[in-house]
Amino acid sequence: MSKKPLILVTNDDGINAPGIRTLIGIMNSIGDVVVVAPDSPQSGMGHAITVDATLYVNKVQVDDGPQKEYRCSGTPADCVKLAIRELLDRKPDICVSGINHGSNSSINVIYSGTMSAAVEAGIEGIPSIGFSLLDYSWDANFEASKSFVKRITEEVLENKPDTGIILNVNIPNLPKDDIKGIKVCRQGKGNWVEEFDKRTNPMGKDYYWLSGKFVDLDNGDDTDTNALENGYISVVPVQFDLTAYKTLETIKTWNFK
Amino acid sequence: MSKKPLILVTNDDGINAPGIRTLIGIMNSIGDVVVVAPDSPQSGMGHAITVDATLYVNKVQVDDGPQKEYRCSGTPADCVKLAIRELLDRKPDICVSGINHGSNSSINVIYSGTMSAAVEAGIEGIPSIGFSLLDYSWDANFEASKSFVKRITEEVLENKPDTGIILNVNIPNLPKDDIKGIKVCRQGKGNWVEEFDKRTNPMGKDYYWLSGKFVDLDNGDDTDTNALENGYISVVPVQFDLTAYKTLETIKTWNFK
């Protein structure tokens, strides 16, 4: 039996995206790689799962390499569930998701399919990391990311974060020499100010396209947004207990009787 | 101008679901109601948003009452974004989502379209509540929920939780007299143990249905799961900063250099 770590690789941009192809290449240098990824882009899917439709899985080989690959008709979270329950013969040592084409820093984490896959693995007690590069384009350049992604993955394999902790890693879109290092930070406060672009279709019916811009609402110097702006890679430890503990006691004093 | 509160109502089971029709009826007795809800069921959608497709909105009147109603082709989070940016002429005083047909307690909160809508309103600084009844059936009986939903909504309107706090309210499926009261609690630890039901389609191709059972992994008496099991309505204050603050300092000691 191989002593190399078993690495589950997934993403939300789809199995053919340059980001996941880069990630697979890096992971092949660390361990035994099994890829289970969506067959088409799933961006903005949040933590969706397929509860009312069938899931198809196909064994494929997208490019050369020792990795085993499956493409799946479901969401990123579906991919992780299927991998663990059906496709892998043992629990993976780590799950890596990405590299996403575009930021998942600040509030973006809650809309992120990349992070939902990583969180799903975290729920299963598997150390996991979501990687994102701050370039939304399909032909984003992942060269500068490679050594950092490898280093962070090896560090997680060695240190094993507490159960249920997932790392949200965002990488600035800079040449390697301009990346200043890696910063562990908190999720910055921010929000999207949407502008719905209202149009009329050829049948005379109105419809909308969602667009908008991100607004940073946090001037702390310990946030992911701040780290990225200053040329650092941000690492935010994330958890899935959403309880607002600070508010619990206040709300207990309300009069619900 | 009306002094009554402006109430935004949405859900993830779709605008025709008995749960939202009940919720609209209750809210009509509290304030001015605008409904913006998906045109079809969106369960399991997590915090999905529509980034790569068009959104349609239709003004409708599903049943009698003073409420204004819009059905939308998007996800629950889309509905809230559209309501705030395009459909409402002022910021709502509260957003209520549900009443969901089925539990959103424990880990279910992260897969929940009902809660994603409420969280989306929370991100916009609007006090908001997601309501769920522990009965997955379409013809669930919401009678016993009514007075509790009204009371909790009025309490939130009066007390205004801290900005960014959303209440996750789950209601046991019991006759009114058997409901023991309302408990403010934390999110219980739990997980779904999936069983993928593997079948073969008429063309000979394998596919899967996701099924499984919920496993309670928490023996605390301060959890939502525990409250519900003991006949109480659970109220968990939820927030969208996912940072695992307890782990931040530990991970800062790792050697990322």
Cβ-Cβ contacts under 8 Å, B242 against chain A = 109-110, 168, 187, 236, 238-240, 242
What is the ipTM score, two decimals? 0.92
Count of pairs with CB atoms under 8 A, one residue in A, one in B: 226
Q: Is the pLDDT of residue A131 over 80?
A: yes
- Token representation of residue B118: 């409420």
Query: Does B197 fall in a domain?
Result: no
* Least-confidence region, from A45-54, A80-89, B6-15, B134-143: A45-54
Give which of A70, A150, A198, A251 to mutate to test B binding, by max B Cβ within 10 Å. A251
The 3-state secondary structure of B76-112 reads: HHHHHHHHHHHHCCCCCCEEEEEEEECCCCHHHHHHC
Distance from CA of A219 to the nearest CA of B (A): 16
Distance CA B94, CA B153 (A): 8
Structure tokens belonging to residue A6: 């078993």
Nearest Cα to Cα of residue B43 among B100, B97, B82: B100
Q: Would you say B12 is a known binding-site residue? A: yes
Q: Give me B108's structure tokens.
A: 């279910």
Cα–Cα distance for residue pair A170/A154, rounded to 1 Å: 17
Whether residue B43 is annotated as binding a ligand: the answer is yes
Q: Is A35 part of any domain?
A: yes
pLDDT above 90: residue B42: no
Chain B residues within an 8 Å CB radius of A247:
161-162, 165, 237, 239
How does strand A57-60 pair with strand A68-72?
antiparallel
Of residues A236, A237, A247, nearest to B165 (C-beta): A247
CA distance B239 to B166: 6
Cβ A45–B48 below 8 Å, yes or no?
A: yes
CATH code for the domain in which residue A164 is found: 3.40.1210.10
Residues of B in contact with A85 (CB under 8 A): 194-196
Q: Give dist(CA B8, CA B88) in Å, integer.
A: 9
Domain that holds residue A168: 6-187+221-252
Quick check: is A216 in a domain?
Answer: no
Span B94-104, pLDDT tens digits:
999 999 999 99
Is the pLDDT confidence value at B257 over 70?
A: no
Does some domain include residue B176?
yes
* A141 annotated to a ligand binding site: no
The answer to whether residue B159 is domain-embedded is: yes
Residue A51: what are its φ and ψ, rounded to 5°? Answer: -105, -15
Task: Tell me, yes or no, whether B210 lies in a domain.
Answer: no
Number of neighbours of residue B158 by Cβ within 10 angstroms: 9
> In chain B, what residues touch A57 (CB-CB under 8 Å)?
206, 208
User: Is A27 domain-assigned?
Assistant: yes
Q: pLDDT at position A150, please?
A: 98
Are B252 and A186 an interchain contact pair (Cβ–Cβ within 8 Å)?
no
pLDDT at A49: 82
> Which residue of chain A is at minimal alpha-carbon distance from B50?
A44
Contact B187 A119 (CB under 8 A): no
Non-local (6+) Cβ contacts of B102 within 8 A are B43, B132, B133, B134, B135, B136
A216 pLDDT higher than 60:
yes
Number of domains in chain B: 1
Helix and strand numbers, DSSP H then E, in chain B? 6, 11
Question: Has residue B227 got a pLDDT over 80?
Answer: yes
User: Is residue A199, in this structure, part of any structural domain at all?
Assistant: no
Residue B198 token pair: 């593997």
Residues 31-60 of B with CB under 8 A from A: 41, 43-52, 54-57
Average pLDDT over residues B28-52: 88
pLDDT of residue A2: 58
- pLDDT at residue A205 greater than cutoff 90: no
Which residues of B, range 169-208, sit inside 8 Å of A by Cβ?
A: 181-182, 184, 186-187, 189, 191, 194-196, 198-199, 205-208
At residue B2, the pLDDT reads 58
Judging contacts by C-beta atoms under 8 Å, the chain B residues touching residue A167 are: 251
Mean pLDDT, rounded, for A102-108: 96
The residue ranking higher by pLDDT, A257 or B36, is: B36
Beta bridge partners of B33: B7
pLDDT tens digits, B167-186: 999 999 999 999 999 999 99
pLDDT tens, residue by residue, A20-34: 999 999 999 999 999
Nearest CA in chain A to B77: A111
